Structures are given as structure tokens and as C-alpha cells.
Amino acid sequence: MSLMFNINPADPTPLYAQLTRAIQFAIATGKLRIGEKLPTVRQMAVDLKINANTVAKVYAELERTGIVQTRRGVGTFICARHFEAKQKRQHDNELRDFVDRVIAETGAMGFSLDDLIDQLQSRRKKELRKYV
């Protein structure tokens, strides 16, 4: 499988960037599908004739962005398309920014973070009661 990835040591682009791009391209074009297992770090490194640390760095970055998931003792699997992972990151960032604004405004109005949390919990209980 790792032979589907084209890595060129003569290219000035770092090897990890080439491999990251190659995996993302394979996912985007359907050559790799969600749920499919990637080769082990060691196998990918041997097949591509690159350092295993480089492959590990790529897998870790892809996992951090939500594209792959590593299950200890089982392997690394494709879990999302790049754009799906990017949308989730964007959603998380927007929510984090919103929460930061709410906390800042809460403080500016003279309320504590505990006051805000108490109100949110109270509101949550009310919303849950609506559906019971």
C-alpha cells in the first residue's frame, strides 16, 4: 500500500510534508477510504526508504488534525476526510472563541465564572425537563 505514495528525496519539500500531502491526496481521491488501515510506521518507513521518525511525525500530525486514529496494538486507521476534520477544527475554534467572549463579558459585568457556570447548569436542567 505504501507504494501508492510518491516520495521524492530530491524534492526540496520536506519528506514529512510530501508524505502528509500524499496521504491526504489518497483520501481525497478515494484511494484510501474511511476505516482503511495504514501500514505500520516501520513498514511505511521501510517501503518508502525514509526514517521511521518521519512517518511517526506524519501519523501524529494526521491524528492531531482528526484525519487518522491510532488504536494501540491494532494500527492506524483513516477516520475522516481532510475537509471533515478541518470543519470540526473550525467549529471547535469558533465555539472556543465564543466561550472566551462570554467569559470576558461576564467578568466585565461583575459576575464570576462560577456565577456563569451556575446559570448554565440551571438552564441545562430546564432544557432537559422540557424533553422528559
Q: What is the dihedral of CA 19, 55, 17, 86, to 10 degrees?
A: 90
SS3 state of residue 123: helix
pLDDT of amino acid 128: 78
Greatest C-alpha distance within the chain:
64
Confidence (pLDDT) at 95: 86
The full DSSP string for 36-77 is PEEPPHHHHHHHHTS-HHHHHHHHHHHHHTTSEEEETTTEEE
Residue 4 has pLDDT above 90, yes or no: no
Task: Tell me how far apart the alpha carbons of residues 111 and 36 are, in angstroms, rounded to a whole number.
Answer: 50
- CB of 92 within 8 A of CB of 103? no
| pLDDT tens column, 11-68 | 899 999 999 999 988 888 888 999 999 999 999 999 999 999 999 999 999 999 889 9
The amino acid present at 127, given as its one-letter code, is E
Q: What percent of the chain is modeled with pLDDT above 90?
A: 61
Task: Give tens-digit pLDDT for 92-130.
Answer: 888 899 999 999 999 999 999 999 999 999 988 887 776
Check residue 83 and give its pLDDT.
63
The domain locations on the chain are 2-80, 84-130
- What's the pLDDT at 2? 56
What local confidence, expressed as pLDDT, does residue 130 receive? 67
Tell me the pLDDT of the chain averaged across its residues.
Answer: 88
DSSP state of 7: -
For every residue of 10-35, DSSP letters joined together read: TSSS-HHHHHHHHHHHHHHTTSS-TT
CATH number for the domain running over 2-80: 1.10.10.10
The pLDDT value given to residue 1: 61
CA dist., res. 67 & res. 132, Å (int): 37
